[in-house]
């Protein structure tokens, strides 16, 4: 198409509207990056990033360094950088070892470009266990997703995923998600380096027991039954653990506890 034809296809008014919309998106994206920079905890950062992704249909996100093949549950969880997955799904995912069967993790290890989950079956042959992981994720409204792969200077791979019932992103929005994901991961690493690893965290024996059973994937009700205490008491102990570790989710508390050696 000639330049003249292009000008005729986009009259001055339309070109102006496109430029204005593009500028507005750019300003909005950079405004959000400033919010990311001001986040001081992993929980705040995760929630902030998810609030941005909601506009595309996302209801959850997870990002972390891909652990080596064969890594045990504790090591897997210690690699999490951002966590806004449904709590019950995160506990099930790590307690049942789904990471080693997750086809999105397999693709992150192989590719560098973003991919949507609808493309996975076209890119690789899915095993029965991989199908099972994706089917269970859909039970938690994580049916349609997008994953981005990053590499650190040490050549460690990082995966960043958002998902919901149905994602709607045009190419420019995918670029914005990629920019925000990269920035958020960098900020998460900064926060982790300054976090509880430099503090002494002491738990009571009962708090340690509750945390250990939470790491096994048990719910509050199940923990209460296992320890012979009320559900309210078990929940109170879990809240105390989260406060001491400076997090707002049980999944993140378990990850932090593994990371600093409170549980193994």
Q: Is the pLDDT of residue 18 over 50?
A: no
State the pLDDT at residue 31.
75
Q: Which span out of 21-25, 59-63, 64-68, 184-188 was modeled with the highest average pLDDT?
A: 59-63
Structure letter (DSSP) for residue 98: G
State the pLDDT at residue 196.
47
Q: Is the pLDDT of residue 210 over 50?
A: yes
Q: Is the pLDDT of residue 6 over 50?
A: no
Give the pLDDT confidence of 115-135 residue by residue, as tens digits: 999 999 888 889 999 999 999
**Packing angle of the helix pair 205-215, 231-245 (nearest 10 deg):** 90
Q: Which helix (H) or strand (E) holds 218?
A: none
More confident residue, 231 or 151: 231
Q: Is the pLDDT of residue 197 over 70?
A: no
Give the pLDDT confidence of 163-193 residue by residue, as tens digits: 999 999 988 888 889 888 988 998 898 888 7
CB 259 within 8 A of CB 197: yes
pTM, whole model, 2 decimals? Answer: 0.70
From edge to edge, which strands make up the β-sheet containing 60-65?
80-83, 60-65, 157-164, 144-151, 115-116
Structural domains of the chain in order of their starting residue, each with its CATH number = 14-194 (3.30.450.80), 201-260 (1.10.10.10)
More confident residue, 141 or 72: 141
Extended strands (E) in 51-166: 60-65, 80-83, 115-116, 144-151, 157-164
Q: Is the pLDDT of residue 25 over 80?
A: no
State the pLDDT at residue 7.
47
């Amino acid at each position: 198409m000639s330049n003249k034809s292009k000008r005729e296809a986009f009259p001055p008014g339309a070109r102006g509207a496109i430029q204005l919309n593009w500028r507005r998106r750019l300003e909005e994206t950079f405004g959000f990056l400033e919010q990311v920079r001001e986040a001081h905890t992993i929980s705040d950062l995760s929630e902030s990033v998810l609030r941005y992704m909601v506009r595309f249909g996302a209801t959850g996100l997870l990002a972390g360094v891909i652990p080596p093949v064969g890594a045990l549950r504790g090591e897997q969880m210690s690699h999490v950088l951002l966590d806004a997955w449904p709590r019950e799904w995160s506990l099930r995912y790590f307690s049942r070892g789904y990471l080693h069967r997750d086809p999105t993790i397999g693709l992150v290890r192989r590719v560098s470009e973003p991919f949507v989950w609808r493309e996975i079956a076209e890119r690789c042959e899915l095993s029965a266990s991989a199908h099972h992981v994706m089917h269970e994720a859909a039970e938690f409204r994580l049916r349609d997703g997008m994953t981005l792969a990053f590499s650190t200077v040490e050549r460690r791979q990082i995966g960043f995923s958002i998902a919901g019932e149905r994602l709607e992103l045009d190419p420019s929005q995918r670029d914005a998600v990629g920019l925000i994901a990269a920035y958020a991961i960098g900020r998460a690493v900064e926060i982790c380096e300054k976090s509880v690893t430099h503090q002494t965290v002491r738990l009571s024996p009962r708090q340690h027991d509750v945390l250990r059973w939470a790491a096994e994937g048990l719910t509050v009700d199940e923990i209460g039954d296992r320890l012979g205490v009320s559900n309210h008491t078990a929940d109170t102990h879990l809240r105390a653990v989260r406060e001491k570790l400076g997090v707002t989710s049980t999944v993140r508390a378990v990850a932090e506890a593994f990371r600093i050696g409170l549980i193994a």
